C-alpha cells in the first residue's frame, strides 16, 4: 500500500504559486526525504499534507484515502508532525505530562497514564522527566518530548520538518539514531524535510531534490552515495557536502 500519493499538487499563497505540480508516492513503511534550499517548497508540501495549509489543488492520498482539505479530523490521527525548533514547539507553562496527554484529549482517547510512560521510555527519557517543564530540559531532551507527543496517538505517518537542524551535532546524532530506532519498532512511514543531505541519507531510503517549487529529481539513497544523481542541481548540492570534511 502507498502511504502518500501526490498527484499534480500545486500550492499557492494567495495568487503566488510556490509548488508547481509535485508528483511522488511513498510506500507504507518507507522513509522519504524532501531536500532543497530555503524557499524551494519542501516545507510547504509538508504543511499541505499535515493540514496546516488547505490552499492547494491536485490530489493528496494518504493510505489510499483522498484528502478533503476542508475536513480532515480523521486523517490527523494517522499523521503527526515534528517541528524544527524544540524550544518553540512545546508549551512553556505545561509539564511534559500535560503536553503528552493533549493529543489523547483532542482525539478523545481514554488513558490512565500508561501511554505517557510507554512513550517516555520509547524516546529514552527517564520517568522523572514526566512532571518537568520544557525550560528544565536541554534541546535534545525537548526534541525527544516533541517526538513522544507525535507518537502518543499511534500515527502511521510521521512528518519531520528539519527535526535536528536546531541541535548541536553530538545531540543531532542521538535524535537521528532515536528516529531510526522508532521507525523500525513502530513500523512508521517518514516524510523528512531537510537541507542536509547526510541527514537524509542516514534516515531515508529515497529522496526528492527540490528547487524553486519543483521536484528536479527523485533518487534512491544508493544512487546518492554512489554519486549517480542525474540532475545538475542535485550534484551541486551533493558537491557541497562531498567537499565538506575533505571527504
Partner 1 sequence: MTQSPLLKVRDLTTSFFTSRGEVQAVRGVDFDIHAGEVLGIVGESGSGKSITCMSVLRLLKNNGRTIKGTAHFEGRDLLELSELEMRRLRGNDVAMIFQDPMTSLNPTLTVGEQIIETIIAHKNISRSAARERVVELFELVKIPEAASRLGAYPHEFSGGMRQRVMIAMALSCDPKLLIADEPTTALDVTIQRQILLLLKEIQSRLGMAIILITHDLGVIAEVTDRILVMYGGTAMETANVHHLFDKPMHPYTQGLLASVPNVNNIDGEKLKPIPGSPPDMLRPPKGCPFMPRCDKAMEICVTTGAPEFEIDDAQSHKSRCWLHHPDAPQQKGDAA
Residues in touch with partner 1 (CB under 8 A) = 37-38, 138, 140, 168-174, 176-177, 180, 195-199, 201-202, 224-225, 236-238, 240-247
Give me the least distance between CB of 208 and partner 1, in Å please. 16
Phi-psi region of 57 (alpha: psi -120 to 50; beta: other; left: phi over 0): beta
Beta partners for 26? 4
Nearer to partner 1, 62 or 208 (CB): 208
Least distance (Å) from partner 1 to the CB of residue 144?
12
Phi, psi of 132 (to 5 degrees): -90, 165
Closest contact distance (angstroms) between CB of 13 and partner 1 is 19
CA nearest to 200, candidates 223, 171, 233? 223
The set of cell numbers assigned to 188 is 512508521
Hey, what's the cell of 219? Answer: 533518487
Q: Are 167 and 143 a contacting pair, CB within 8 Å?
A: yes
> Least CB distance from residue 107 to partner 1, whole Å?
33
Closest by Cα among 33, 16, 15 to 220: 33
Comparing CB distances to partner 1, the nearer of 44 and 80 is: 44
CB of 241 to partner 1, least distance (A): 5
State the nearest-atom distance from the C-beta of 170 to partner 1, in Å. 4
- Closest to partner 1 by CB, 137 or 152: 137
Of the pair 38, 114, the CB lying nearest partner 1 is at: 38
Q: Which is nearer to partner 1, 101 or 194 (CB)?
A: 194
Closest CB to partner 1 among 6 and 209?
209
**Residue 89 grid coordinates:** 514547539
Q: Where are the alpha helices (DSSP H) in 107-244?
A: 114-122, 139-151, 169-186, 197-203, 221-225, 232-243
Q: In what order do the strands lie in the sheet with 214-220?
A: 79-82, 157-161, 189-194, 31-36, 206-211, 214-220
**Structural contact between residues 210 and 34, judged by C-beta atoms closer than 8 angstroms:** yes
**Residue 128 C-beta: closest distance to partner 1, Å:** 15
Residue nearer to partner 1 on the CB measure, 104 or 176: 176
Contacts of 173 (CB under 8 A, 6+ apart): none
Amino acid at each position: 500500500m502507498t502511504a502518500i500519493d501526490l498527484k499534480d499538487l500545486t500550492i499557492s499563497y494567495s495568487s503566488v504559486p510556490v509548488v508547481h505540480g509535485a508528483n511522488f508516492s511513498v510506500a507504507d513503511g518507507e522513509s522519504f526525504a524532501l531536500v532543497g534550499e530555503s524557499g524551494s517548497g519542501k516545507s510547504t508540501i509538508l504543511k499541505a499534507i499535515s493540514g496546516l495549509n488547505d490552499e492547494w489543488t491536485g490530489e493528496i492520498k494518504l493510505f489510499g484515502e483522498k484528502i478533503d482539505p476542508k475536513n480532515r479530523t480523521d486523517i490527523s490521527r494517522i499523521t503527526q508532525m515534528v517541528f524544527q525548533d524544540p524550544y518553540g514547539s512545546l508549551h512553556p507553562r505545561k509539564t511534559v505530562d500535560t503536553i503528552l496527554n493533549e493529543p489523547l484529549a483532542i482525539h478523545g482517547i481514554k488513558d490512565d497514564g500508561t501511554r505517557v510512560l510507554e512513550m517516555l521510555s520509547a524516546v529514552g527519557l527517564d520517568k522523572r522527566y514526566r512532571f518537568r517543564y520544557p525550560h528544565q530540559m536541554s534541546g535534545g531532551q525537548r526534541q525527544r518530548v516533541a517526538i513522544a507527543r507525535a507518537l502518543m496517538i499511534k500515527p502511521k505517518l510521521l512528518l519531520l520538518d528539519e527535526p535536528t537542524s536546531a541541535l548541536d551535532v553530538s545531540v543531532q546524532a542521538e535524535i537521528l539514531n532515536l528516529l531510526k530506532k522508532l521507525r523500525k519498532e513502530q513500523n512508521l512511514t517518514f516524510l523528512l524535510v531537510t537541507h542536509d543531505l547526510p541527514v537524509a541519507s542516514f534516515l531515508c531510503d529515497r529522496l526528492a531534490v527540490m528547487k524553486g517549487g519543483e521536484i528536479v529529481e527523485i533518487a534512491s539513497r544508493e544512487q546518492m552515495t554512489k554519486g549517480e544523481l542525474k540532475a545538475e542541481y542535485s550534484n551541486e548540492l551533493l558537491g557541497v557536502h562531498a567537499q565538506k570534511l575533505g571527504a
